[in-house]
Amino acid sequence: MIETEGLTRKFGEVVAVDGLTLQVNDGEVFGFLGPNGAGKTTTVRMLCCLISKTSGSARIAGYEVGSDADSANIRKIIGLVPENVGLYEGMSAYDNLDFYGKLYDRTESQRKESNEYFLKMLGLWEKRDAAAGTFSKGMKQKLAVARALVHDPQVLFLDEPTANLDPESAKTVRDFILELKREKKTIFLNTHNLDEAQRICDRISILNTRLMAIGTAEELERTVKGRQTVIQLTQMSDAVVKAIERLSLSNLSYDGTRATFDVTDPERENPPVVRTIVQAGGEIQTVNVQGSTLEEAYLKLVKKHA
Residues that bind other proteins (CB under 8 A): 11, 45, 48-52, 72, 75-76, 78-82, 84-91, 99-100, 102-105, 144, 147-148
Q: Which residues contact 100 (CB under 8 A, 6 or more apart)?
A: 147, 150, 151
CB of 153 to other proteins, least distance (A): 10
Long-range interactions of 164-169: CB distance < 8 A, separation 24+: 164/137, 165/137, 165/138, 165/141, 166/137, 166/138, 168/138, 169/136, 169/137, 169/138, 169/139, 169/141, 169/142
Q: How far is the CB of 202 from other proteins (least distance, A)?
A: 24
Q: Which is nearer to other proteins, 85 or 244 (CB)?
A: 85
Helix (H, G, I), strand (E, B) or coil at 282: coil
Q: What distance in Å separates the CA atoms of residue 2 and residue 29, rounded to the nearest whole number?
A: 12
Q: Which one, 87 or 211, has the nearer CB to other proteins? A: 87
Strands, sheet with 250-255, edge to edge from the N-terminal-most edge strand: 250-255, 258-263, 227-233, 284-290
Q: Which is nearer to other proteins, 34 or 82 (CB)?
A: 82
Q: What residues form DSSP beta bridges with 81?
A: 158
How many whole angstroms separate alpha carbon 237 and alpha carbon 248? 18
Minimum distance of other proteins from residue 81's CB (angstroms): 8
Comparison of 50 and 241: residue with beta carbon closer to other proteins? 50
Q: Which is nearer to other proteins, 105 or 168 (CB)?
A: 105
Nearest distance in Å: CB 138, other proteins:
18
Q: Answer for the pair 155, 77: CB distance below 8 angstroms, yes or no.
A: yes
Q: Least distance (Å) from other proteins to the CB of residue 250?
A: 51
Residue 255 CB contacts under 8 Å (≥ 6 apart), including other chains = none
Q: Which is nearer to other proteins, 34 or 101 (CB)?
A: 101
> Closest approach of Cβ 228 to other proteins, in Å?
45
